């Protein structure tokens, strides 16, 4: 189902009388993002070749903040305004550490910009708006249900992620807007908490506080200037038996070193690991990309030590074409 063919129920939408700022003007700063990626791109098999999400205008010259996986290796990007205009855009770059991405409109958007709010001060229980492109009918009133560390299976850790509920059904790159009309975060995931009888869907949101430290570098270099972290190319998950390799990037360092799906990761170097965040942090402490990472794994009742020569993940990706 296309996002524009669906709308949030009226009782869950924000209403102008409840806010001190111009709600419709603020929501007009949230645009749809459509990206096309070549079929032979590195991320095409996992993220698809046609990606649809959202972004928020953060500068009136058409600079848009979105979630990085929407625009990674994109060959073309279009921004869709609430009044139905399609404006071509150029992917400037993304920060693999936070997951945030930047897009520059190549034509006039004529839209206001959302000021960045104080995401670090956002407390559990605070009310906010989660908005996709398309105005009020694509916006939902939500609440912060948690602030905590988040670890992803794709070699990712966010120190102080924002979790909101109820969840927005079109969360990718959606804008979390404060009660004062400022941008607090960018939607990344939808997660489920609880069992089948009492389940709560919530969004994981990347705080905008992750952007200012790398903004200038993304604008000029397309990526952070700091040495890239070592990347292994494995997908790990926490289970009853500990941390298990659920999959591997076919051309990645871990696969080349002999790590196999189903391996149980016991430790990195001399240190044991018991959770995903601990695993990735120990890997990153091994040095910059290119460093050798010693993984201790369990396989079919045996224990092995596997040396993985890490890589810079971004070296596997297509660079954006200049327009």
Question: Mind giving me the DSSP string for 66-125?
Answer: EEHHHHTT-SEEEEE-TTS-EEEEEEEEE-TTT-EEEEEESS------PPB--GGGPPTT
Of 73-82, 202-211, 314-323, least confident by mean pLDDT is: 314-323
Mean pLDDT of 299-321: 92
User: How confident is the model over 18-47, as pLDDT tens digits?
Assistant: 999 999 999 999 999 999 999 999 999 999
User: How confident is the model over 143-171, as pLDDT tens digits?
Assistant: 999 999 999 999 999 999 999 999 999 99
Is pTM, for the whole model, over 0.85?
Answer: yes
CATH number, domain 234-316, options 2.30.42.10, 1.10.10.10, 3.40.50.970, 3.40.50.300: 2.30.42.10
pLDDT at site 1: 45
pLDDT at site 303: 96
Q: Where are the domains of the chain?
A: 1-225, 234-316
pLDDT band at 200 (very low <50, low <70, confident <90, very high): confident
Which class is 1-225 in CATH?
mainly beta
Mean pLDDT of 58-86: 97
pLDDT at site 240: 87
Cα distances (angstroms) measured from residue 38 to each of 59, 89, 91, 223, 321:
29, 17, 14, 21, 12
């Amino acid at each position: 189902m296309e996002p524009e063919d669906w709308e949030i129920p009226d009782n869950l939408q924000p209403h102008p009388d409840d806010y001190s700022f111009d709600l419709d003007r603020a929501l007009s700063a949230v645009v749809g993002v459509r990206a096309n990626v070549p079929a032979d791109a590195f991320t095409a098999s996992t993220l698809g070749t046609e990606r649809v999400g959202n972004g928020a205008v953060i500068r009136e010259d058409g600079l848009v903040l979105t979630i990085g996986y929407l625009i990674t290796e994109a060959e073309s990007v279009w921004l869709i305004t609430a009044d139905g205009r399609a404006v071509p855009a150029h992917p400037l770059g993304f920060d693999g550490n936070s997951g945030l991405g930047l897009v520059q409109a190549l034509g006039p958007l004529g839209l206001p910009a959302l000021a960045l709010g104080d995401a670090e001060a956002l407390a559990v229980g605070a009310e906010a708006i989660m908005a996709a492109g398309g105005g009020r009918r694509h916006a939902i009133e939500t609440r912060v249900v948690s602030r905590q560390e988040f670890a992803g299976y794709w070699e990712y850790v966010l120190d102080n992620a924002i979790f909101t509920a109820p969840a927005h059904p079109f969360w990718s790159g959606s804008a979390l807007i404060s009660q004062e009309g400022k941008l607090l975060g960018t939607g990344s995931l939808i997660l489920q908490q609880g069992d089948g009888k009492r389940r709560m869907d919530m969004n994981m949101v990347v705080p905008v506080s992750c952007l200012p430290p790398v903004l200038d570098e993304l604008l000029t270099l397309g990526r952070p200037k700091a040495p890239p972290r070592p990347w292994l190319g494995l997908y790990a998950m926490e289970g009853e038996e500990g941390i298990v390799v659920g999959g591997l990037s076919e051309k990645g360092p871990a696969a080349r070193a002999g790590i196999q799906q189903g391996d149980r990761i016991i430790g990195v170097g001399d240190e044991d690991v018991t959770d995903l965040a601990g695993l990735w942090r120990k890997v990153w402490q091994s040095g910059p990309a290119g460093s050798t990472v010693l993984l201790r794994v369990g396989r079919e009742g045996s224990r092995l030590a596997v040396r993985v020569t890490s890589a810079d993940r971004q070296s596997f990706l297509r660079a954006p074409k200049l327009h």
